[in-house]
Structure 1
Amino acid sequence: MSAVRIAAKVLPANTGIVILHGLGDTANGFPRTIANYLRGIPAFEQTSFILPDAPISPVSLNNGYKMPSWFDIYELSAHPSRVDADGFMKSLGVIEKCVQEHIDAGIKPENIVVCGFSQGAALSLSSAATLPVKIGAFAAFSGFVTIPNQLRQIKKDHNLDTPIFHGHGDSDPVVPLEGGFIAKDFYQNDCGFKNIQFEVYKGMDHSVCPEEMDQFVKFLKRALKMK
């Protein structure tokens, strides 16, 4: 598994965070930016990070151009008629491996977080329904739901009450806010998740903003019972 691994500033690590990038990005883009931001906060000095890299593969939406992608995208739609379920499930397996790597390093599952941006956010949300172990929290920046039919059939109940943070901009042209609301409704109503914090940021496009990062950090501290 190709990934950037960042050791805790103070050892031993007692918290582990997995961060997944979006389409066309790499571990050294958005994930490393978030990891570096958190590493500058004293509460996270014993946190280690795993930032996996998506494989380089053709993306149908971009005329088959090859780029880092967790799964193929055929159309930009809140209700796509065709999805890459196989690619999506394979990438969910990457998350499971990252979580297990943190556990094997001695980090308790309740101190592990999975988060991601865009494609990575879609995966982080879905992993809440598929991970075979209960962890500390999930977070999604501009997330959406991709394989609802499959998730209904395979979902597990380990993380039904695990805290989930989902932030979305109301001016997002890539993943419109409607897609965020659809994901929220799906995971609450269809999957039964009980602890979703959904935040909308006025004027924010397909990105993150300081207010979102501030709320994300507060969310993590609550979920992981940090001081």
Structure 2
Amino acid sequence: MNGLRIAAKVQPARQTIIFLHGLGDTGSGWGFLAQYLQQRDPTTFQHTNFVFPNAPEVHVTANGGALMPAWFDILEWDSSFSKVDTDGFMNSLNAIEKMVKQEIDKGIKPEQIIIGGFSQGAALALASSVTLPWRVAGVVALSGFCYIPGILKQHKNDLNVKTPLFHGHGDMDPVVSISLGLNAKKFYQDTCGIQDYELKIYNGMAHSTVPEELDDLTAFLKKCLSL
């Protein structure tokens, strides 16, 4: 899978942050995050690899079949997700597993790897918290939601039930409503047993990010990676 890869400024690399973009975006769209973290804490993230993969081009049904980067098809704009692209979602989950394995093969310990994402990418990051075959350092979901809960219950394991999870969400999000964020927390915390699930709600934030959220994200990453 191609995308934007930013190698640690100081070798050898000791940590990796993998971050998945949202619908219609590319890995480069979130490349600013690496620059932000490296400039904000120049010595803190100097041994950190950053991976911003590109989603495949998909004909998105709910957008009139338009071809765009998507981790899975959106069959209709329905917050209840009555129709879902199970195959596309599971294929992307498998791709995340391969990305993590690539980092492990390079010498990065799984407990020094963060999985994160925004919107569609956040839905996958959340799902990876119950499907990955390794315990990772932490999981980040920005404006995330729960997708295919029934399937995830069949595939879940308990390796990351104690792994810290940070979920940032705006209370004015018109794309992924705050109710979907609350439902995600309920599913992963109550049904899947995630013990350290922090949902932080940002007043006035739409389907985007704000400086306060980036501040909280930075603190979370430093805590998870013991930086």
Structure-2-length-normalised TM-score: 0.97
2:220 is matched with: 219
CA contact (8 A) 2:189 2:195 kept: yes
Given residue 119 of structure 1, which amino acid in structure 2 is its aligned partner? Answer: Q
Look up the match of 2:18.
Answer: 18
Residues 1:136 and 2:137 aligned together = yes
Counting only pairs closer than 5 Å after superposition, residues 201-220 of structure 1 correspond to structure 2 as 201-220=202-221
Runs of 4+ in 1 over 6 A off after TM superposition: none
1:175-221 per-position Cα deviation (integer Å, ceiling 9, x unaligned): 00000000000000111100011100000000000000000111111
Counterpart position of 1:38:
37
* Alpha-carbon contact 1:78-1:178 (below 8 Å) kept: no
Percentage identity across paired residues of the two chains: 51
Matches within 5 A, 1:11-160: 11-30=11-30, 32-40=31-39, 41=41, 42-160=43-161
Q: Which residue of 1 aligns with 2:199?
A: 198
Task: Report 1:170-181 matches (<5 A).
Answer: 170-181=171-182
TM-score, normalising length from structure 1? 0.97
Q: Distance in 2 between matches of 1:180 and 1:156?
A: 22
Q: Is the 8 A contact 1:122 1:143 kept in 2?
A: yes
- CA drift of 1:160 comes to 0.4
State the alpha-carbon separation in 2 of the partners of residues 28 and 61 from structure 1: 24
- Give CA deviations for 1:9-44 in whole Å, capped at 9, x if unaligned: 1111001110100000001112x1112212222211
Please tell me whether the aligned partners of residues 10 and 45 of structure 1 are also in contact (alpha carbons under 8 angstroms): yes
Q: Distance in 1 between matches of 2:187 and 2:108?
A: 30
Offset of residue 96 of structure 1: 0.6
For the aligned residues, what is the CA RMSD?
0.8
3-state SS of the aligned residue for 2:28? coil
Q: For 1:113-145, what per-residue CA distance to the aligned partner results, in whole angstroms no more than 9, with x for missing partners?
A: 000000000000000011000010000100001
- State the alpha-carbon separation in 1 of the partners of residues 203 and 78 from structure 2: 22
Q: 2:109 and 2:129 mapped to 1: Cα distance?
A: 17
The separation in 1 between residues aligned to 2:181 and 2:216, in whole angstroms, is 17
- In structure 2, how many angstroms separate the alpha carbons of the residues matched to 1:146 and 1:82? 10
Tell whether the 8 Å contact from 2:3 to 2:26 is kept in structure 1 after alignment: no
Distance 1:182 1:85 in 2: 19
Write out per-residue CA displacement over residues 72-104 of structure 1, whole angstroms, 9 at most, x where no aligned residue: 012233311110010000000111111111111
In 1, Cα distance between equivalents of 2:156 and 2:61: 28
Number of equivalenced pairs: 225
Note if contact 2:62-2:75 (Cα within 8 Å) is conserved in structure 1: yes
Q: Structure 2 counterpart of 1:188, which letter?
A: Q
Gaps of 5+ in 2: none
Give 5+ residue unaligned stretches, structure 1: none
